[in-house]
Amino acid sequence: MPRIAYFGPQGTFTEQAARAFDEHADLVPLSTIPEVVAALRAGAADFACVPIENSVEGSVSATMDTLAADDPVVAVGEHVLPIRFSLLTRPGTAAADITTVASHPHALAQVRDWLGKNLPGARQLASTSTAAAAVGVLDGEFDAAITAPVASAHYPLTVLASDLADEGDAVTRFLLLAPPGTVTEPTGSDRTSVIVVVSHRPGELAAMLTEFALRGLNLSRIESRPLRARFGEYRFYLDFDGHVSEARVGDALAALHRRSQDVRFLGSYPKADGSASVAVPGSQDTDYEASAAWLAALRRREQE
Amino acid sequence: MPRIAYFGPQGTFTEQAARAFDEHADLVPLSTIPEVVAALRAGAADFACVPIENSVEGSVSATMDTLAADDPVVAVGEHVLPIRFSLLTRPGTAAADITTVASHPHALAQVRDWLGKNLPGARQLASTSTAAAAVGVLDGEFDAAITAPVASAHYPLTVLASDLADEGDAVTRFLLLAPPGTVTEPTGSDRTSVIVVVSHRPGELAAMLTEFALRGLNLSRIESRPLRARFGEYRFYLDFDGHVSEARVGDALAALHRRSQDVRFLGSYPKADGSASVAVPGSQDTDYEASAAWLAALRRREQE
């Protein structure tokens, strides 16, 4: 039974995502994202489950920074979870009794309208996680908690309301991380993630993006953050369609490697939405084989 | 002794260029450019010498069309000749006796000012080549001929004036062609020529040029002409710095091959001006080796 370390405590959305990757896994909650990834690097866990981005809040900086630093780890899967909250109370509590409601600030922000309409008199208090708020309710610290649905499986609390979300389509994307060298087999619907350090030469970012465009590789995400230690350089997080074993993806990765002293491969893994990667004309593996054969013949002085 | 077929007759600039490639060669003048290249294709000559472009008149269409059609041939050398003319007459003729002066129309065009000042009364007549004009003078058909300097070595005529050129820096570039499969060794100062058929898809020309730009390959010449037989497609003649055996050049050629159904390699050969090809950072052969090794390790699941 594989051990999956995840960003806990128990009862969070990250636990839900970890269960989605493997419902029979031995789940190990740890309290910070760096601790989760460190457990994987140290061999204390086989996999690590962490949030990478939320459609409302944006990137999870702690995950991004952890992936860029120390020894590399690679993603072998992604899971996209619709973010819909439950309102938990102690048994017997009615909505009218609620004077305080607690949750992680991001969660409170995502149900602000609902709280304004349904619990207008309740004071909103911040907790370190949605699950910590549930523990606070259990301990009598707060009257109610805004939590992930899975929290009700861990704590003897009542679900007073569920499926709460101001933005009906908010989602969070989670990665399942594994030790470096783990690469999934290509499925025809894969995503590849990399971190590239780009020097501040004129046109260098445009050149990097053009390397993808020319090979017909669809970029699904690009995020930059300046490197404080090295002024004038930027770290880019890139997600794009395709698998490292495909010719056009390998060709683009090799081009990035020539452009940058610092490319970190973050894995090729099946896309959560299962949408097929489409190769533009001339970018199929067979096209690469044909062009390589043609060039090799030229160099052997055997022109067709 | 190699046989070089050239665009004759004897006494033209093309003969001068052919001598510059190999002064001991057996030179075979033929009367049209297609005949010269056909002799090479048929094995009747080891090499063929043809003009490819003139700095005043532009490309030599007959050469361009011949290179694109039928079996491929490849350039193994180029020679750039300054175009300066001689004025030849029959012995005993003085400038004041000249009532007619003949030459190829391109040659007449390049000394128009000189003729206007020095032979204002002479009628200008067209001949099929500069050398044919010399023959016409010999036969008494014209009084004077505007010719290549080398013509005076073939015909018993007097050089009345030499070093004539309205544009002091006019040059013609000649190619030495060989059978396909002949490729010179790289010298560090090489040029590669190709013909690419580009479909009329939006952005396709920009994409093709970007393939060169990303690899730091300097394009020294680009010429297009529409393909009459296939509406919406264009044939591009491209010259760029580098040798087919260099990694960045091979990489660009393979990319062109994937973009186009129709790429014709016209050879890699030493540049006439001897200027060194400069590789931009990240585009040396060693950079290609390093990126290929990195990618291969990723694919073997052996991430650095």
| A182 to chain B, closest Cα gap in Å | 6
From B183, B213, B287, residue closest to A258, measured CB to CB: B287
**B85-164: what CATH class?**
alpha beta
| A77 to chain B, closest Cα gap in Å | 16
A257 contact residues in B (CB cutoff 8 A): 290-291, 294-295
Token duo for residue B5: 């077929």
| B232 to chain A, closest Cα gap in Å | 18
Are B259 and A282 in contact (CB < 8 Å)?
yes
The rounded mean pLDDT for chain A is: 90
* Residue of chain B with shortest Cα separation from A181: B301
From B214, B258, B291, residue closest to A288, measured CB to CB: B258
Tell me what the mean pLDDT of segment A64-71 comes to: 90
* Residue of chain B with shortest Cα separation from A286: B258
Residue A199: its pLDDT value, please?
75
Which of these, B13, B137, B136, lies nearest to B80 by C-alpha position?
Answer: B13
Render pLDDT for A219-239 as a digit per residue (tens, 0 to 9). Answer: 888 888 767 666 667 788 999
From A183, A213, A291, residue closest to B257, measured CB to CB: A291
| A224 to chain B, closest Cα gap in Å | 22
Partnered with residue B100 across adjacent β-strands are B123
**304 residues of chain B, pLDDT tens digit each:** 899 999 988 888 999 999 999 999 999 999 889 999 999 999 999 999 999 988 776 778 889 889 998 899 999 999 999 999 999 999 999 999 999 999 988 889 889 999 999 999 999 999 888 899 999 999 999 999 999 999 999 999 999 999 999 887 788 999 999 998 887 899 999 999 999 988 767 778 888 889 999 999 988 888 887 676 666 677 889 999 999 999 999 999 999 999 887 899 999 999 999 999 888 888 999 999 999 999 999 998 877 6
Residue type, A280: V
Q: Widest CA span of chain B, in angstroms?
A: 87
Q: Where in chain B is the domain with CATH 3.40.190.10?
A: 1-81+169-182, 85-164
* Residue of chain B with shortest Cα separation from A287: B258
DSSP code string of A39-104? HHHTTS-SEEEEEEEETTTEE-HHHHHHHHSSS--EEEEEEEEE--EEEEE-TT--GGG--EEEE-
Rg (CA), chain B: 23
From A180, A295, A301, residue closest to B250, measured CB to CB: A295
Q: Where in chain B is the domain with CATH 3.30.70.260?
A: 183-304
B299 contact residues in A (CB cutoff 8 A): 183, 244-245, 250
For A197-233, b where at least 16 C-beta lie within 10 A, e where not — what string? bbeeeeeebebbebbbbbbbbeeeeeeeeeeeeeeeb
Chosen for mutation from A291, A299, A302, A304 (greatest number of chain B CBs closer than 10 Å) is A291
A290 contact residues in B (CB cutoff 8 A): 257-258
**3-class DSSP state for residue A258?**
helix
The ipTM of this complex is: 0.76
Render pLDDT for A1-31 as a digit per residue (tens, 0 to 9). Answer: 899 999 988 888 999 999 999 999 999 999 8
Residue B286: its pLDDT value, please?
93
Categorize the per-residue pLDDT at A106 as very low, low, confident or very high, splitting at 50, 70 and 90.
confident
User: Measured between alpha carbons, how far is residue B149 from residues A248, B63, B155 in Å?
Assistant: 55, 23, 11
Render pLDDT for A252-300 as a digit per residue (tens, 0 to 9). Answer: 999 999 988 789 999 999 999 999 988 888 899 999 999 999 999 999 8
Render pLDDT for A176-212 as a digit per residue (tens, 0 to 9). Answer: 999 988 878 999 999 999 999 887 677 788 888 899 9
| B248 to chain A, closest Cα gap in Å | 11
C-alpha dihedral over A285, A289, A290, A293, to 10 degrees?
170
Rg (CA), chain A: 23
Looking at domain A1-81+171-182, which CATH architecture does it have? Answer: 3-Layer(aba) Sandwich (3.40)
Are A303 and B253 in contact (CB < 8 Å)?
no
**Assigned CATH topology for domain B1-81+169-182:** D-Maltodextrin-Binding Protein; domain 2 (3.40.190)
Tell me what the mean pLDDT of segment A112-129 comes to: 92
* Residue of chain A with shortest Cα separation from B296: A250
B294 contact residues in A (CB cutoff 8 A): 254, 257, 263
CB atoms within 10 A of CB A126: 13
| B254 to chain A, closest Cα gap in Å | 5
d(C-alpha A170, C-alpha A116), whole Å: 19
A295 contact residues in B (CB cutoff 8 A): 244, 250, 253-254, 257
Strands A26-30 and A3-7: parallel
From B181, B257, B282, residue closest to A294, measured CB to CB: B257
From A180, A257, A298, residue closest to B291, measured CB to CB: A257
Residue A231: its pLDDT value, please?
62
User: Measured between alpha carbons, how far is residue B190 from residues A16, A294, A303, B218, B253 in Å?
Assistant: 61, 21, 19, 11, 15
Render pLDDT for A132-188 as a digit per residue (tens, 0 to 9). Answer: 999 999 999 999 999 999 999 999 999 999 999 988 778 899 999 999 888 789 999
Q: Where in chain A is the domain with CATH 3.40.190.10?
A: 1-81+171-182, 85-164
| B253 to chain A, closest Cα gap in Å | 7
Q: Which CATH code of 3.30.70.260, 1.10.1280.10, 1.10.3720.10, 3.40.50.620 fits the domain covering B183-304?
A: 3.30.70.260
Q: Which residues in B have their CB inside 8 Å of a CB on A?
A: 72, 74, 180-183, 207, 210-211, 213-214, 244-245, 250, 253-255, 257-259, 263, 265, 282-283, 287-288, 290-292, 294-295, 298-299, 301-303
| B299 to chain A, closest Cα gap in Å | 6
From A72, A263, A303, residue closest to B72, measured CB to CB: A303
Are B298 and A207 in contact (CB < 8 Å)?
no
